[in-house]
Amino acid sequence: MSTISDWVFGLAALFALPASAALVIVDTGHTPLHPGATGASGRVEYLYNLDLSTQVAKDLQAKGLKVFRTAADGVEIPLKDRSTAAPADFFVSIHHDSMQQQYIDAGRQREFHGYSIFVSELSPHYEESLKCARAIGEKMLANGESPSLYHAEPIKGENRPLVDARLGIHRFDDLMVLKTAKAPAVLVEAGVIVNPDEEARLAMPATISRTAQAIADGIVACKP
């Protein structure tokens, strides 16, 4: 039997999510079969991406946004299909970083740490993407994280133009998940798992929780 209060609560639940709530695709970088980088401990990047993206998705939903997840189910999905898997208002791809093999070979793993954020100028929504990248960068800084500027190093395979050194924002125009996006899109490298000290910190639930909150807060702040 339903009562007036059931009806009121039902109505409240119905209107908790406004019909106009933005939809965000939260992409878990890589897949179990092609798991990306390997951390210093041997744990693969996909698992770090899965932990962090799961928390980002929860935080966005808690803030009233709709979320569509890609690659979280472990099924192979081509890069070009990720950002177009749903009619989204925003796309964020979650990754963890490696470094050039020459640095690993030289035993320089501990020299590289920090997050970085990428945008593509080939995206039809470059300015809005950059606005959201800046918002996420501000939240990451406020959260005590520091940007890695390693991708801007003038070496083969890096050389990514720095858009904003303070916030750790780089341009990477040819990144498939960004240039194929039909909505503003950013890719976040949350930290460097090849660095054993940073890997241990990134694996901590408190770090995952704080980083996810910073990413979600940044997305909400830029109003996709």
Residues of the shown chain interacting with Zn ion in the complex, contacts defined by CB under 5 A: 29, 36, 95
Least distance between Zn ion and beta carbon 95 (Å): 4
Least distance between Zn ion and beta carbon 46 (Å): 8
The Cα–Cα gap between 68 and 66 comes to: 7
Q: 141-172: b or e for each residue (b if 16 or more CB lie within 10 Å)?
A: bebebebbebbbeeeeeeebebbeeebbbbbb
- Residue with nearest beta carbon to Zn ion: 95
- Residue type at 16? A
Nearer to Zn ion, 51 or 128 (CB): 51
The Cα–Cα gap between 198 and 76 comes to: 28
Nearer to Zn ion, 39 or 137 (CB): 39
Least distance between Zn ion and beta carbon 30 (Å): 6
- Nearest Cα neighbor of 160 from 127, 211, 121 is 121
Nearer to Zn ion, 30 or 139 (CB): 30
Nearer to Zn ion, 18 or 78 (CB): 78
